[in-house]
Chain A
């Protein structure tokens, strides 16, 4: 091999020349460069801006009404445990769906990346599938399968809402994720494939040991994007009549004519989403550190 591979990292860990964004959070990084004075200004301006926002909202003429019907502590205390209990059903749905999506999307992406005239029909099918299921709104796929499939009353076809909602979510999100995988596969430099082939690896082994590991590593952040989308869309199963987090929130909302249950559910979604984002940040950072070590050798 002549010259370093294209993605060798030129800096040692902790090097101040490392571009800002690579040292973790892009929100905090500029502060480190500015020193104590910068930190002081940031704190003062934050306090002023956030106080101003709070003051504007709280003094608005509609605030007492909003407070009563969106932030009612009594309704919150009643709603939160009930919603959380039903939210575990969402968790089950999206975890099963995500595991299936990882596999199905990979198969579709590989089919689409196959070269050679023999594979033409497979490529067309994979492309048609991604076009179709990215085009139809998720709620329609869920409604069509969830209300339609059981109505066929075919023996052996399950009529469970959870089953059809998972099928619908897997179909829709595999289409998105297949495209993400494909972008990752295509981002691997052709010289990598050429080198692998020159070393005597078969096409399959090149894909398995050279292309896919690099491709998957690169697409982890956009993959999380799609997974967060999927987690939120698990609420669409409510449309089929299944009582999960959203529908439970709605039920309490209608009992009280009060929107606080929605705030409670939003809070649950925030709490499960943010740790995932930080986990992926950590994963990406760890991966980068490991590759840096490799480059230093």
Chain B
């Protein structure tokens, strides 16, 4: 009987311990909560500029006085450029150089939020999974060529578009699909795409080839199989397609791009309920209004948009 009591006693302690946990976190989603609720309200008193918005929500940043930005490692071109820096975790390119399309966008957004780039910016290398794993995030936002999808919107909050993207098909010279001009000509092709991208949906929903698509961990695997001839083509976003054919596969050709039913776009992802979405959106709106975003586009992605449409 004594044994039984000791078991009950231990269980009682466990119950008591967990009763102290505060269940307030149960009410996530919906309106911004807690301390930031009053200042972040989007009523008639909403801040007019990105800088005002950032100042009003100074508490909402991951670490005070610094913008913490997550992105993928390796930092792939043409989204990031400038090469590696000794002592940095990032491979291929160093984000804090502010080069490449996403690099330049972050540098500009940072400035408009009232921070100085790169002194007041910390870059966090992230696995793609980490950008939407549940729980508190250790970054203010992540940009990593993440396409907005309504289903994804439930797990994170998205900013407005910072790049309107089309998907494109890459093949190699001499491949039967290299000269294709219509989607119908791709019916018998074996195509590949990296997992986690909307490129795969283009293969499955738009092209609908008879062969099962190959789905890789990242672009590197897909490129390797295209080089080896195990697959006929890769579907990727258009700027990456031009990068692949220019650098990774000398024999590569951009066959064409696809017209999406609704415009696909890359957006920054935030922890659900973050008041900073509003501030970054203001910054993006300013950049679109005064033409800065076009300038960044022309500087880093010029020539990466002209490909025939496959119909």
Contacts and interface: CB of A to CB of B under 8 A. Distances in A.
Interface in B1-29: 3-4, 7-8, 11, 14-15, 17-19, 21-26, 28
A61 B21 contact: yes
B8 to A, nearest CB: 6
Contact of B28 (A41, A59, A64): A64
Nearest to B146: A257
A14 to B, nearest CB: 30
Given A61-B22, A251-B215, A254-B196, A153 B11 contact: no
Interface in A32-83: 41, 44-45, 48-49, 51-52, 55-56, 59-62, 64-66, 68-70
Contact of A44 (B4, B21, B196, B217): B4
Interface in A241-269: 241-243, 247, 250-251, 254-259
A49 B22 CA distance: 22
Interface in B84-132: 128, 132
Given A65-B135, A151-B228, A41 B222 contact: no
Contact of B151 (A247, A251, A255): A255
Interface string A15-26: 000000000000
A147 interface: yes
Interface residues of A, number: 40
A247 B215 contact: yes
Given A55-B18, A257-B156, A159 B195 contact: no
A150 B229 contact: yes
A207 B130 CA distance: 55
Interface in B118-162: 128, 132-135, 149, 151-152, 154-156
Contacts of B212: 243
A240 B221 CA distance: 7
B11 A62 contact: no
A239 interface: yes
B61 interface: no
B192 interface: yes
Contacts of A44: 4, 7
Contact of B7 (A48, A59, A62, A255): A48
A59 B195 contact: no
B155 A59 contact: no
Contacts of A153: 228-229
Interface in B192-237: 192, 195-197, 200-201, 212-217, 221-222, 224-225, 227-231
Contacts of A242: 214
B155 A66 contact: no
A48 B155 contact: no
Nearest to B200: A251
Contacts of A45: 4, 7
A142 B8 CA distance: 51
A220 to B, nearest CB: 36
A70 B221 CA distance: 28
B23 A59 contact: yes
Contact of A257 (B152, B195, B230): B152
A147 B192 CA distance: 14
A149 to B, nearest CB: 9
A263 B21 CA distance: 26
A176 B192 CA distance: 34
Given A250-B215, A251-B215, 4 more contacts: A49-B11, A68-B154, A241-B192, A254-B196
10 A-B pairs with least C-beta separation: A241-B214, A257-B155, A254-B196, A151-B228, A65-B134, A257-B132, A48-B11, A52-B14, A69-B134, A257-B152
15 contacts: A52-B14, A55-B14, A59-B23, A60-B21, A61-B21, A65-B28, A69-B133, A150-B225, A150-B229, A239-B217, A241-B214, A241-B216, A243-B214, A255-B152, A256-B155
Interface of A: 41, 44-45, 48-49, 51-52, 55-56, 59-62, 64-66, 68-70, 147, 150-151, 153, 159, 161, 238-243, 247, 250-251, 254-259
